[in-house]
Copies of this chain bind each other. A is one copy, B any other.
């Protein structure tokens, strides 16, 4: 098995004539001397490869033998470091960074702690401050695109626009009063306005985010399905996540599972991205595949809350659209997908009682092109291929935890920290260089978050009001 992997790596170097065909002479950015993990269909790996970028697109990915054919405005000498597609976080609530490490292990935490906390503290300011911090955390951890579900998503959008990353931003719709809507109907209106405002943004895809099947009515879910078709936008939802959800939906539907119910009401569509998808049967999985639904697998949050392990490996092997997510920073608690790698690989081995289950290459696939598939964005992002958008990260292989690298997939999954990401490039722009942000002031963002945290301390900790 090991030998085969190595052979695959070596063979890759021989098969690149085609990749060089589109190589341009004058490029904006050239990354050279890299261990290039393309994550293309053949999983080509180039040992001393290069990636060339013109404007916001990749124009060459090669073994580096044609290095002299490029004239570049900017050159990054990777010096053997791993160069790979930017990570895609398929599920988070970015603004919740400001609540991270609050009341971590409270039973029934969503209903007993988080919803009451949010009813007190979610404001436009909170959403902006938390998103700014989370964007920095993700970019420093190699995440170049993320899918978000929260309130005041127009505030999140402004931060994404400013910092330069890519995102699908889902405005939450839920049946009880929340910070930006008194009910689901108002939530839908908010979402529609947001969608109309951001529909044509080059890096932001606005979306609907009905919180979950059990926290919305059938009518709301159907209306959102209709509108998502009309506007051709994604629908992000928590799906098949908890026993509570199973019970509520079974009562509502006469015994259906959440997935069956969603299919029954016409809400399973290719626009849908379901997060978690833990409590699913084989027939539920077939339904999800049939309707081409995307799936966000959030191992870290799911085991922290003792909800169980999603059959993500089976769904991946069955050809479903599935990628890794982190869930929000009150759940995971970090939001760089790299932090999931280790746990995804190992916990699936544990529950499958098979050390060969969920090998590193699958984990990396689920964080890149697999995650792009989950968000139906595989034509534009998720791999390093000519014509794709230039979302690229460089991973430091000289940090002591990364030495040596016999197998780059293993090194990424079993050894790498998010803090080993050295440079992050989105849409052709270097947003982090040598661990330093280039488009925002990290100190200012941190200080704003710390000031907000003081407010949280005063509001909910010192008063003790939120704990029930």
- Which residues of A does B touch, CB under 8 Å? 1-3, 6, 97-98, 100-107, 109, 113, 133-134, 136-137, 140-141, 300, 303-306, 308-309, 332-336, 339, 342-343, 345-347, 349-350, 352-357, 359-360, 398-401, 403-407, 410-411, 414-415, 417-420, 442, 446, 449-450, 453, 456-457, 461, 464, 467
Contacts and interface: CB of A to CB of B under 8 A. Distances in A.
Contacts of A335: 401
Taken together, the copies of this chain in the complex come to: 2
Nearest to A302: B350
Contacts of A2: 102-104, 106, 113, 467
B98 A404 contact: yes
Contacts of A407: 101-102, 104
Given A101-B410, A349-B304, A414-B104, A446 B355 contact: no
What 6 A-B pairs are tightest by C-beta distance, nearest first?
A404-B453, A419-B419, A2-B103, A137-B400, A333-B414, A101-B410
25 contacts: A1-B105, A100-B406, A101-B406, A101-B407, A102-B406, A104-B359, A105-B355, A133-B400, A137-B401, A303-B350, A304-B349, A304-B355, A304-B414, A306-B357, A333-B414, A339-B417, A342-B343, A347-B347, A399-B419, A403-B446, A403-B449, A403-B453, A404-B453, A417-B417, A419-B419
A410 B104 contact: yes
A300 B355 CA distance: 12
Contact of A418 (B137, B352, B355, B401): B401
Given A98-B404, A101-B407, A137-B400, 13 more contacts: A2-B102, A2-B467, A100-B411, A105-B355, A105-B356, A303-B349, A306-B350, A306-B355, A347-B347, A400-B446, A403-B453, A404-B453, A417-B417
Contacts of A133: 400, 403
A2 B467 CA distance: 7
Contacts of A332: 414
Considering residues A105, A334, A343, A456, which has the most beta carbons from chain B within 10 angstroms of its beta carbon? A105
A411 B102 CA distance: 9
B104 A300 contact: no
B456 A406 contact: yes
A305 B442 CA distance: 40
B461 A414 contact: no
Given A407-B102, A446-B398, A461-B406, A3 B414 contact: no
Given A107-B355, A137-B400, A400-B446, A414 B101 contact: yes
A354 B306 contact: yes
